[in-house]
Amino acid sequence: MEERQLGGTGLRVSALGLGTLTWSRDTDEHEAAEQLHDFVDAGGTLLDTAASYADGAAEELVGSLLGPVVARDDVVLCTKGGVRRTRDGGVVDASRGALLSSLDESLRRLRTDHVDIWLVQSPDPRTPLEETVGALRHALDSGRTRYVGLSNHPGWQTARAASLLGPDHRLAAVEVEYSLLQRGIEREVVPAAADLGIGLLAWSPLGRGVLTGKYRRTVPADSRAASAHLAGFVEPYLGKEAAGIVEALATAAEGLGCSPLELALAWVLGRPQVSSAIVGARTAHQLRAALEVDILLPAAIEEALDEVSAPAFGYPERR
């Protein structure tokens, strides 16, 4: 598998990352172990998780597999903090105390003394960005993480955080949703990342599974859209607008003799600034389809997909 530089840092990550959103919930320890083994065997290195996934159980499962299944040094371990669980659900908390406590708990669950990349999972309107960035700086200085970044933050916060960190504590990565069905980051996040030398980690490059084409006719009983806790996650991409993009993708894939999944991943991996596309699968069988992607996207097909999925631009991005 191809390795790519993470923005302007010296860290290299695999072009495909392995996501663990479903681990310990829809993906049991046996399937997770098989996924991780197959991923590393294919040359994958970037392993992505979060303290909030399955209320910490995903990190615990990852930690139990590092050593018995693959060596800790064989993966670039990325986790996220800043979303804590309460009786009423998830609460965003990117305060210094909450973030550093979350990181300590993540390290305990992951059974390691450091992660390679640590991200703030979501913007916190109640905490000054200066305080959040201070926690990132402290995590770097204390050796708990090698690189830091943000997830799901807008362009202005990305640029401001990079400025606050300064040249000695650079912002290495932004992890954001990016696919043919979600191109909103092209308005401000992508330009900011490109200008500041920040690597882009694209989550859900398959449009929450919709770009595989599995929902073109119906909702499969074993799919995320049929899952009680993930149906709401998929539902936004099951409308008419998304359907038109999926049909165009399927038509193009048929013409190239490949699957919609392969073409959708190739499109994301061909976008400027993308260091890695993070794919999540419920089973090892589903993951293998992504690991086998090896397609060079023809310029004419790329232009056609760009046109059919183009995001709305207006003032002030475009005058």
Rounded to an integer, what distance in angstroms lies between the CA atom of residue 32 and that of residue 282? 8
What are the respective helix, strand and coil percentages of the chain, to the nearest 5? 45, 20, 35
Q: Of 53, 147, 178, 237, which one is the catalytic site residue?
A: 53
**Pseudo-torsion of CA 267, 269, 20, 122, nearest 10°?**
-90
Q: Is 53 a catalytic residue?
A: yes
Closest by Cα among 239, 145, 153 to 198:
153
Place of tokens 């700086």: 137
Question: Side-chain half-sphere of 127: how many Cα atoms within 13 Å?
Answer: 22
- Would you say 134 and 169 are in contact if contact means Cβ atoms under 8 Å apart? no
The beta strands (E) that lie in the chain are given as 3-5, 12-14, 16-19, 46-48, 76-81, 83-86, 89-92, 115-120, 145-151, 171-177, 199-203, 274-279
Length of the chain: 319
Active-site residue numbers?
53
